[in-house]
Amino acid sequence: MSSRTEQQLSFGPQLRESAKALVVRGDEVLLVKEAHADGSTFWTLPGGGVESAESRSAALQRELYEELRCRITIGDTLTRYWYAHTGPSNTVSLWFVYNCVLVTSASKNLKEGILAKRWVSPDELPPNTLPQVRYLVESYISDESNSHERRLDHQ
């Protein structure tokens, strides 16, 4: 194996675990607007990285308080997916997404890089919503609506 190949393998992406919240209100979900390293903006779910010796639920509670100054109740894990960060960090995150409920109201915290917060329905997702988030929101709200309709049909 050449030294160049060895360098490429030894300098692979940094892996990071993250916890994200899917907060639903009726047929809307809570999204936050952040910026990539290059300054371009995107919409995503609130939440962030898990620090060493921290559980995912503790990280999610901490991140939502830091980002949105709110408290949440954490429910079941809904899904998980990969996210490759843009910029020089060469980081790939494994996002664990939890069903969450707000316990207190949310307000953006610019000091934490949250440019805006917004409640949106799946058909009103901003164009720069991360693809993984778009898929999750559209799938989850559709599944929830169908589940609700099925429950009503059986009553």
| Residues of the domain holding 134 | 13-153
**Cα separation, 150 vs 64, whole angstroms:** 33
Flag whether 1 is in a domain.
no
List the CATH number of the domain containing 113. 3.90.79.10
Percent of the chain surpassing pLDDT 70: 83
Flag whether 7 is in a domain.
no
Query: What pLDDT is attached to residue 4?
Result: 32
Flag whether 6 is in a domain.
no
**Cα separation, 111 vs 132, whole angstroms:** 25
Flag whether 2 is in a domain.
no
**pTM, to two decimals:** 0.82
Nearest CA-CA partner of 21 in 54, 44, 52, 50: 44
Mean pLDDT estimate for the chain: 84
Q: What is the DSSP letter of 144?
A: H
Tally of domains within the chain:
1
pLDDT digits (tens, 9 = 90+) for 72-128: 999 999 999 888 877 667 788 899 999 999 999 999 999 999 999 999 999 999 999
pLDDT digits (tens, 9 = 90+) for 3-13: 333 333 356 77
